[in-house]
Each structure stands twice: as C-alpha cells, then as structure tokens.
Amino acid sequence: MSPTLNILHCALLAVFLSCCAPHADAEPAVEIGFARDTATGQEVIQATSTFVQHGPSIRKVLLAINGYAALHPWITGASLVKSSNQDPAEFLLEFKFPWPIGRRWSHIEVQQDGGSAIVWQQLAGNMGANQGKLQFAARGRGLVVEYSAVISLGLPDILLRRFKKQFVIEFINAAYAQAAVENPTGLTLATSTPYTRQ
C-alpha cells in the first residue's frame, strides 16, 4: 500500500472510531436489574448510572423532588406537603401511567442524608408500595447515581418490569439533560433555555 493510501486509510479509520465512540455529552448508560428482597419477598429494581460531568448539577436536579414533574411525562405533579428542620419532608406525587395502570398518587416521607442520599417511603396513596433510595457518590468531577426501589402498582412484577425500566432510564436521562443545560460546557450545550421534555 502506498504511503498516501496508508495515511488516507488511517484518517478514515480515526474518523470512524471517533463517530462510534460515546460523546462526553451523550446520555449516560443506565445499568438496570431486578432482585428479590429476602426479608419482604418484594421485587426491587436497582439501577446504576455514571455521569462523567455535570455531577453537582445532576445531584441538584435529583434532590429537587418538587421539580420531578418536568423530568417525566408519567409524573403529573410533585409538590411539597410538609417541611421542617427536624422532621423529614413530605411530598405528594401524582402519576399518569400507561394503560392498564392509569392514575396513581403517593404521599411520601423523604429524608436527605447531607446531599449524599435521598430515602423515601410511602405514607399514603393508591400504590401498593413506593419506597426506595437514591445514593450519590462523587467520581472526580462526575457522579455515580445508584437507585433502588420497591414499586408496586397492583399488577404482577413480571408485567411491570418493562414500565419500570423505561421510567428509570428516561428519568435519569432527563435529569442529565436538564443538568447539562443548567451547567453548559462546549458549543453543543451553550444555551440558557430551560430543559423541557418534548
């Protein structure tokens, strides 16, 4: 092969690999699995996602529970019901899930552990269960988010797994998109327009 063709071949290969490699601003990969809680017998959805940038902004977005309705179309309302310095905060979450689940609501008690975790449990509502934890761990300027929850909506777990996975992936990606807009880096994110889901 001639030197010119060899250089051209290497250049084309470099362009191909750069197009195939994940972009720094691409949506984060979300690893999701299901496990059975041996104490209660309930199914737990577990998800982990690593954000390579915008860590502080992502944490801020995920800690702002009253802003959750902007992150997913299935959340139709998220409002603070009670707040004090000593007691856990309480929120009312309203949902409109796809058929056959329909409209649900959940009054939850939320404890925040110094910004490193959110733990919630349902106090009232028409969901069979809604309890879980969001854990945050810094990784350089990035952030690792671990999510685990027991969500019961009155249907067998096996029928709900697809809905749960879809919800978690879309929710995490929307939090990333909002954080990227609030904390722009580079030309692709140079905008002051607030994130709204289309």
Q: Which tens digit of pLDDT belongs to each residue from 104-152?
A: 999 999 998 888 999 999 999 999 999 999 999 988 778 999 999 999 9
Q: What angle do CA 121, 63, 75 make, to 5 degrees?
A: 65
Tens of pLDDT, residue by residue over 36-47, are 988 888 999 999
- pLDDT above 60 (res 97): yes
pTM, to two decimals: 0.75
Domains in the chain, start-ordered, CATH in brackets?
Answer: 25-189 (3.30.530.20)
- pLDDT above 70 (res 169): yes
182: its two tokens: 């609030």
The share of the chain scoring above pLDDT 70, in percent, equals 77
* Cβ proximity of 35 and 44 under 8 Å: yes
Sheet holding 75-82, edge to edge: 30-36, 43-51, 142-152, 129-139, 117-125, 102-112, 89-97, 75-82
118: its two tokens: 């959110």
Please give the pLDDT value at position 40. 86
Query: Average pLDDT in the 180-184 region?
Result: 72
The share of the chain scoring above pLDDT 90, in percent, equals 58
Where does the pLDDT of residue 102 fall: very low under 50, low under 70, confident under 90, or very high at 90 and above?
Answer: very high
Query: Average pLDDT in the 63-75 region?
Result: 95
* Separation CA 148–CA 133 (nearest Å): 5
